[in-house]
Amino acid sequence: MTNSYELLEALQRQNLPVQERDPWWWPGSGTYEVVIGAVLTQNTRWPKVEEALKNLRSLDALDIEGMAKLDAELLKEAIKPAGFYNTKAKRLALLNQAIGDKFGDFETFQLEVDRRWLLGKRGIGEETADAILNYACYREAMVVDAYTAALLRAFGYEFEEYRAIQAWLVGGLKENDIRVRRLFPDIPRAQIYALFHGMIVEYGKRHKRGKVVDISPLQSL
């Protein structure tokens, strides 16, 4: 595996379920629900996040206005399935207020928010910021997570920081843009980044045991 295009091509041949729920992999892409889910998914499994989102949906709290109307205790109770609910409730409330104050509505947020602004908010790290930019705002932001680092480690790549992994992934795709477009001829680059990350996660779910990822299926093709 010499570059990220080769990884993308090998993952594509696995026929992973990256578009069964949403064309961009993340459920509810392009909505405020992604912003909320990106915070809730920190340090927890996605099925638990879905439980919390279901609770918030029943309270009509999956938009800026609805979230703002929830009192602190009701918000905590609603997101309890996702764990760390005291911390996450505070982060969600502060982020929601900041988005409302700065942008007014979600459509303006989608168009105008940038990575620096997101990283300036409490509890928003690089992975969460990029998930929001890519999956909620449809921006060209390549998400990096623990599955990504583990998969690349299995191929012998060691990176010291998030941005180094991200640069390797994006760089390989840009250097092989014509070949990437043959794989995905009719979708925007931002969606390719989204599906690439989704493939890595779905592959990791199948083939990661502990800290080790079995890469033999990718090498056999």
Confidence (pLDDT) at 174: 97
Q: Clarify whether residues 60 and 93 are in a common domain.
A: yes
Q: Clarify whether residues 110 and 161 are in a common domain.
A: no
Confidence (pLDDT) at 145: 97
Which residue range forms the structural domain that includes residue 14? 4-20+142-219
Number of structural domains the chain divides into: 2
pTM: 0.96
Helix (H) or strand (E) holding 213: strand 212-213
Q: Clarify whether residues 180 and 87 are in a common domain.
A: no
CA triplet 27, 127, 121: central angle to 5 degrees? 100
- The CATH number given to whatever domain includes residue 12 is 1.10.1670.10
- Give DSSP secondary structure letters for 23-57: TTSSTTTTSHHHHHHHHHTTTS-HHHHHHHHHHHH
Cα–Cα distance between 179 and 63 in angstroms, integer? 39
Neighbours of 215 (CB within 10 A): 19
Confidence (pLDDT) at 204: 97
Confidence (pLDDT) at 190: 98
Terminal C-alpha separation, the chain: 12
- The CATH number given to whatever domain includes residue 84 is 1.10.340.30
Any residues with CB less than 8 A from the CB of 81 and at least 6 apart, and which?
Answer: 48, 49, 51, 52, 55
Cα–Cα distance between 147 and 88 in angstroms, integer? 23
Q: For tokens 């595996």, name the residue.
A: 1
Predicted confidence pLDDT, tens digits, the chain (221 residues): 899 999 999 999 999 999 999 999 999 999 999 999 999 999 999 999 999 999 999 999 999 999 999 999 999 999 999 999 999 999 999 999 999 999 999 999 999 999 999 999 999 999 999 999 999 999 999 999 999 999 999 999 999 999 999 999 999 999 999 999 999 999 999 999 999 999 999 999 999 999 899 999 999 75
